[in-house]
Amino acid sequence: MAPPRAQRPRVVAVADGSPAAAAGLLPGDEIAAIDGQVPRDVIEWRLLVDEPSPTLDVVRGGLSLEVVVGKEAGVPLGAEVASALFDEVRTCDNHCEFCFVHQLPPGLRGSLYVKDDDYRLSFLYGNYTTLTRFTELDLERVITERLGPLNVSIHATDPELRARMLRNRRGATSLRWLRALLDAGITVHGQVVVCPGVNDGPALEQTLAGVLDRYPELATLCVVPLGVSRWSPESSLRAHSAAEAAAVVDLVEEWQALYLRVLGRRLAFASDEYYLAARRPFPAAEAYEGFPMHEDGVGMARAFERELLGEVAEGLGVAPGFFSWVDGAPAEGYRAPRRPPPARGEEATPRLGPPLAADPRPVRVLTGAYGARVLGPLLARLGRADVATLTVANRFFGGNVAVAGLMVGEDVAAALAAHGAGPGTRYLLPDVCLSAGRFLDGTTPEDLPVGVEVVATDGVALRRALVG
Ligand code: SF4
């Protein structure tokens, strides 16, 4: 799959009453340059349009025109653009055997097969970068523009093992950039994908020691198990056994105690999937130190518990990241918003059905096999016998894929059919499995055999859907 090509920023929305609207900018306009400079990405775009009265070279219907936007420095332009990167996405030159892109079934939308290793997507969306294609110029830009936090894939601190895992000799040396980023005060989160028999056991211990020795400024280090789909071309890849998962949990917890003594914080966290695979109880909510890696599946279960049981007022949901303040639209094809954009006059968050108290129908919450193990006991604590989970077996990906985020339409439809789904039951679908309103297999909730209500994937939203 070829990476997306370079493209000019294309305006997709202009806010009423904004400086962009006053200057006559229109959706569909392409911006060739701002004050003579061609922005490479939405980060540069933001910096350029932040200037007072920027001059935009606009291409409209094949004609070139100049638009001067009258505004003060720092006043938002009020125009959204269609993508985050205007030059080409930097693709990855690694060949990790555990790469999930290599484990996707054929025929999915093209953007899912793009293996990016672009620090800008790390900054914008929280994607992980191995830094094997990072350069001196990139470092200078990250430091100058303070492009943090960044997420870095570590996997192993032993150079030879890391190069072997990435199947790239530069994997042996690219963590020097991590040291440089930390030296410059950039916040970095690290990740270790653990493959049984490769970087677990003594190798994982060496990595945890290496982090303390060489990268103690890391904000967090999340330790996650590899996912193995039935499409994996690597015969040596296998899921952890329960005993192997328990050994990883034990090791991480042992090192947490050490980090806590030396650094005053736990630093490393095993993901929720590890506790489920090991059949161990999750650590207490406090042990997650504010849930900084919630979106990476670390502490999700405990956070959800607090939210569903009404112990906190707000759900953690999706970290808003950079796009909470930039006036650019999320990139198409990367982390698109879970729901499609609302049509004009439509509410941004569609209304759910009536709360349970007002609706006598039983409720089934659709979720993956792991989600059901977390959610089932929590729903029971709500004291409603008519609310339960409906587990969606993941036949599409197969293997050990059991998280709600990878549920696809055809598996959801099969679970509904097996349940004899009909209008006598309310079905709630977490939006984590959708991207711009579509499942990974390209279908939409409207294609399902019965109507489902899409709810935000946090305990507060689910509680609201259930009890009003
Ligand atoms: S670095 Fe990431 S995208 Fe690249 S091969 Fe490895 S797992 Fe896949």
In three state form, how does the secondary structure of the chain look? CCCCCCCCCEEEEECCCCHHHHCCCCCCCEEEEECCECCCEHHHHHHHHCCCCCEEEEEECCEEEEEECCCCCCCCCCEEECCCECCCCCECCCCCCCCCHHHCCCCCCHHHHCCECCHHHHHHHCCEECCCCCCHHHHHHHHHHCCCCEEEECCCCCHHHHHHHHCCHHHHCCHHHHHHHHHCCCCEEEEEEECCCCCCHHHHHHHHHHHHHHCCCCCEEEEEECCCCCCCCCCCCCCCCHHHHHHHHHHHHHHHHHHHHHHCCCCEEECHHHHHHHCCCCCCHHHHCCCCCHHHCCCHHHHHHHHHCCCCCCCCCCCCHHHHCCCCCCCCCCCCCCCCCCCCCCCCCCCCCCCHHHCCCCEEEEECHHHHHHHHHHHHCCCCCCEEEEECCCCCCCCCCCCHHHCCHHHHHHHHHHCCCCCCCEEEEEHHHCECCECCCCCCHHHCCCCCEEECCCHHHHHHHHHC
Atom of ligand 1 nearest to the CA of 116: 3
* Calpha distance 104→143 (Å, rounded): 35
Q: What is the pLDDT of residue 297?
A: 87
- Looking at per-residue pLDDT, the higher value among 361 and 384 belongs to 361
Mean pLDDT for the stretch of residues 264-269: 98
CA-based torsion, 102, 104, 109, 112: positive or negative: negative
The closest-lying atom of ligand 1 relative to the alpha carbon of residue 98 is 7
User: In degrees rounded to 5, what are phi and psi of residue 277?
Assistant: -65, -35
Choice from 129, 154, 166 to test ligand 1 binding pocket (greatest atom count within 8 A of CB): 166
Out of 157-166, 318-327, 425-434, the most confident range is 157-166
Residue 5 has pLDDT above 90, yes or no: no
Over residues 190-237, the pLDDT tens digits come to 999 999 999 999 999 999 999 999 999 999 999 999 989 999 888 888
> What's the pLDDT band for 40 if we cut at 50, 70, 90?
very high
CA distances from 434 to 161, 223, 364 (A): 36, 25, 18
pLDDT band, very low/low/confident/very high, at 318 (cuts 50, 70, 90):
low
Cα 402 off chain centre by: 17
- What distance, in Å, lies between the first and last C-alpha atoms of the chain? 46
Can you tell me which atom of ligand 1 is nearest the CA of 128? 2
Q: CA 371, CA 164: separation in Å to the nearest integer?
A: 33
According to the model, what pLDDT value does residue 37 have? Answer: 95
CB atoms under 10 Å from CB of 46, counted, come to 19
Flag whether pLDDT at 336 surpasses 50: no
Please state whether the peptide bond connecting residue 362 to the residue before it is cis, i.e. omega within 30 degrees of 0: no
- The answer to whether 34 touches 49, Cβ cutoff 8 Å, is yes
Pocket test for ligand 1, best of 91, 93, 96, 193 (most atoms within 8 A of CB): 96
Looking at per-residue pLDDT, the higher value among 419 and 347 belongs to 419
Rounded distance from Cα 92 to ligand 1 centre (Å): 6
| Overall average pLDDT of the 431-458 stretch | 90
- Give residue 466 CA to ligand 1 midpoint distance, Å: 40
Q: Which residue has the tokens 């980023």?
A: 181
Q: What is the CA(114)–ligand 1 centre distance, in A?
A: 10
What is the value of pTM for the model shown? 0.88
- The CA distance from 120 to 150, in Å, is 9
Taking alpha carbons only, the member of 111, 119, 108 closest to residue 40 is 119
Ligand 1 atom having least distance to the Cα of 115? 3
Side-chain-side CA neighbours of residue 328 (13 Å): 28
* Nearest protein Cα to ligand 1, atom 1: 94
Q: Contact 181/142 with Cβ under 8 angstroms?
A: yes
At 213, which amino acid appears? D
Q: Residues enclosing ligand 1, CB less than 6 A?
A: 92, 94-96, 99, 101, 115, 117, 130
Interacting residues of 445 by C-beta distance below 8 A, sequence separation 6+:
409, 429, 434, 437, 439, 452, 454
What is the pLDDT at residue 348?
46
Kindly give the distance from the C-alpha atom of residue 268 to the centroid of ligand 1, in angstroms, as a whole number: 22
pLDDT range class, residue 26, cuts 50, 70, 90 = very high
What distance in angstroms lies between residue 103's CA and the mean position of ligand 1's atoms? 11
Please identify, by atom number, the ligand 1 atom nearest to the C-alpha of residue 193.
7
Contact 120, 41 (CB under 8 A): yes
Whether residue 356 has pLDDT greater than 60:
no
Output the pLDDT for position 380. 87
Residue 108 Cα distances to 127, 141, 402, 428, angstroms: 20, 34, 19, 25
Residue nearest ligand 1's atom 7 by CA: 99
Tokens 């990268």 correspond to what residue?
215
The average pLDDT across 359-380 equals: 91
Q: What is the mean pLDDT of the chain?
A: 88
As a whole number of angstroms, the distance between CA 20 and CA 12 comes to 12
Q: What is the pLDDT of residue 352?
A: 46
| 75 Cβ neighbours under 8 A, 6+ residues apart | 19
| Number of the ligand 1 atom closest to the C-alpha atom of 92 | 4
User: Per-residue pLDDT averaged across 21-38, rounded?
Assistant: 95
pLDDT at 342: 52
The predicted pLDDT at position 72 comes to: 95
In terms of pLDDT, which residue wins out, 326 or 290? 290
